[in-house]
């Protein structure tokens, strides 16, 4: 088992590779994220973990970003690369946000404006 030095890491991407997400190219999504992190020279900033099912199979492929606590849906290998680039700019891949923390609680993007815009 590998032991990573996480000092200096700014974020953690959890990439679902449960069976439903694998059917929706979850392994390719993980590979695309790793490739883009390397391309952007961000290996020391973004840590990734491939997970089992996160309980949102109908939204496959799911990627979760911490510490901001954003759950992304329907990530493809192409959008995975965009997600990494947006993430490094401190932005979200708005069209794929499923849930995000609002006032300390996860809120559905469609209900809360969690796509990056605060409700007024
Ligand atoms: S397999 Fe990914 S959310 Fe269930």
Best probe residue, ligand 1, of 24, 28, 56 (max atoms within 8 Å of C-beta): 56
Arithmetic mean of pLDDT over the chain: 91
Could you tell me the pTM of the whole model? Answer: 0.90
Domain boundaries, position 62: 11-109
Q: Is residue 74 part of a domain?
A: yes
Task: Give the whole-angstrom CA distance, residue 77 versus residue 69.
Answer: 21
Atom of ligand 1 nearest to the CA of 51: 2
* Token digits of residue 69: 């606590």
As to burial, measured by CB atoms within 10 angstroms (0-12 exposed, 13-18 middle, 19+ buried), residue 118 is exposed
Share of the chain above pLDDT 70, in %: 92
91: domain CATH number is 3.40.30.10
29-68 pLDDT, tens per residue? 999 999 999 999 999 999 999 999 999 999 999 999 999 9
Report pLDDT for 111.
Answer: 60
Q: Is residue 105 part of a domain?
A: yes
Task: State the closest ligand 1 atom to the C-alpha of 61, by its place in the atom list counted from 1.
Answer: 2
Q: Is the residue at 120 inside a domain? A: no
85 inside domain: yes
Separation of 120 CA from ligand 1 center, angstroms?
33
**What's the gap in Å between 45 CA and the centre of ligand 1?**
25
Kindly state whether residue 118 falls inside one of the protein's structural domains.
Answer: no
In a domain, 53, yes or no: yes
Placement of tokens 């993430």 in the chain: 87
Does residue 88 belong to any structural domain of this protein?
yes
Whether the CB of 20 sits within 6 Å of ligand 1: yes
Task: Quote the number of domains for the chain.
Answer: 1
Q: Any idea how long the chain is?
A: 120
Q: How many CB atoms lie within 10 A of CB 18?
A: 19
Q: What angle do CA 47, 48, 54 make, to 5 degrees?
A: 135
Q: Which of 14, 15, 18, 71 to mutate to test the pocket of ligand 1 (most atoms within 8 A of CB)?
A: 18
Q: Assess if residue 6 is contained within a domain.
A: no
């Amino acid at each position: 088992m590998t032991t990573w030095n996480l000092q200096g890491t700014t974020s953690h991407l959890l990439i679902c590779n449960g069976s439903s997400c694998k059917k929706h190219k979850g392994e390719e999504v993980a590979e695309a994220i790793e490739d883009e992190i390397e391309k952007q020279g961000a290996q020391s900033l973004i840590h990734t973990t491939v997970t089992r099912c996160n309980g949102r199979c109908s939204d496959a492929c799911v990627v979760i970003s911490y510490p901001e606590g954003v759950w992304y849906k329907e990530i493809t290998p192409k959008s995975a690369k965009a997600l990494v680039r947006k993430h490094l700019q401190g932005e979200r891949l708005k069209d794929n946000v499923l849930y995000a923390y609002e006032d300390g609680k996860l809120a559905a993007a469609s209900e809360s404006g969690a796509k990056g815009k605060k409700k007024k």
